[in-house]
């Protein structure tokens, strides 16, 4: 069994306040349709007026970049199709900014728990590598 959980955040282009109640309802409907068509499970969806948070369960053969591509493109296409007023709000024709936030989510263990688990695997622990998280890839 594999449980891959991702926290994804997509911001509306120009951080425009796009997501009202009607569009939120459409967003949920679209996500349910995406779940039925692709092996993407929306565990939770939350939003503010200018961005959306997703907790998504994926499968090992589908990289997070593919999940992002599927979700962003289908949601944008369908919202533009069903809510013409959104396209007028966002000159340039894009619902989302080009970037996104993605992070893995551990359902059963924290980073510290996993580090301890790896460390305690043998009678003698031989640390092969230790590094820090990097947050400046695109600087």
Give the tens place of pLDDT for each residue, 77-128.
Answer: 999 999 999 988 887 789 999 999 998 888 777 767 766 766 666 555 555 4
Q: What is the pTM of this model?
A: 0.80
Tokens 């939003």 belong to which residue? Answer: 47
Delineate the domains of the chain, giving CATH numbers in brackets: 4-119 (3.30.70.1290)
- Long-range pairs for 107-116 at CB < 8 Å and ≥24 separation? 107/3, 107/5, 108/3
The CA–CA distances, whole Å, from 54 to 2, 58, 138 equal 19, 12, 22
């Amino acid at each position: 069994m594999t449980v891959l959980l991702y926290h994804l955040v997509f911001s509306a282009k120009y951080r425009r306040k796009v997501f009202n109640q009607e569009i939120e309802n459409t967003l949920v409907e679209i996500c349910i349709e995406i779940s039925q068509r692709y092996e993407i499970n929306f565990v939770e969806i939350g939003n503010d007026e200018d961005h959306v948070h997703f907790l998504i369960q994926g499968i090992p053969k589908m990289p997070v970049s593919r999940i992002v591509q599927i979700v962003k493109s289908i949601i944008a296409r369908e919202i533009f199709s069903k809510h013409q007023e959104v396209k007028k709000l966002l000159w340039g024709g894009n619902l989302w900014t080009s970037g996104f936030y993605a992070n893995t989510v551990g359902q059963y263990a924290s980073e510290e728990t996993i580090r301890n688990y790896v460390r305690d695997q043998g009678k003698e622990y031989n640390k092969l590598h230790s590094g820090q998280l990097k947050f400046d890839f695109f600087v």
